Amino acid sequence: MFFPMFVNVENKEILVIGGGKIGARKAELLKEYGGNVTVYSEVVTEEALTKIEGIKIVNKNLSHDENEIKELVKKYFVVVAATNDEELNDKIAHICIAENVLVNNVSSKTEMNSMFGAIVKNKEFQIGISSYGKSCRRSKALKGRVQKVIDEIAAMSE
């Protein structure tokens, strides 16, 4: 069970391992919140990733070697394991957890110590929604309904 908490990532070093669609989405979100985002991927398959201003891209393959992974991740505040290799993502997650680094593993619902929730926000409120990783579709449905409610409340105060 994950404790809901908001974390300031502004000016924090953040590593996204994987240059695909999910990695790009996570990198863009973390950059939006002020993180110093580095994407580590042998091949960037998501072109949108290359267009995000201020993101550093390191085109290098990450091996399964535990020492190499440990040396890479230990200097980061948050790591997102977003490769297309579930075994590698799990290995990254286990190493990060052992090193007390926050890690989000996109290929697992349990092998991580931090989770991204759906975000609903306007000028007055920011709300995080989580289904404990069980139902992304239902989280998105709830997100839409909550957005309508906070927009209605914002309109009443204008």
pLDDT in tens, 33-90: 999 999 999 888 888 888 889 999 999 888 889 999 999 999 999 999 999 999 999 9
Q: DSSP class of residue 84?
A: S
Supply the pTM of this predicted model: 0.90
Which of 46-51's residues contact partners 24+ apart within 8 Å by CB, and which partners? 46/19, 46/20, 46/21, 48/24, 49/19, 49/23, 49/24
The CATH number of the domain covering residues in 13-105: 3.40.50.720
Other CB atoms within 10 A of residue 51 CB: 10
Q: DSSP class of residue 4?
A: P
Q: Regarding beta strands 56-58 and 36-40, do their DSSP bridges make them parallel or antiparallel, or are they unpaired?
A: parallel
85's tokens: 């290799």
pLDDT in tens, 39-48: 999 888 888 8
**Residue written as token pair 């209605």:** 152
Domain boundaries, the chain: 13-105, 118-155
DSSP strands (E only) in 1-145: 13-17, 36-40, 56-58, 78-81, 102-105, 118-121, 126-129
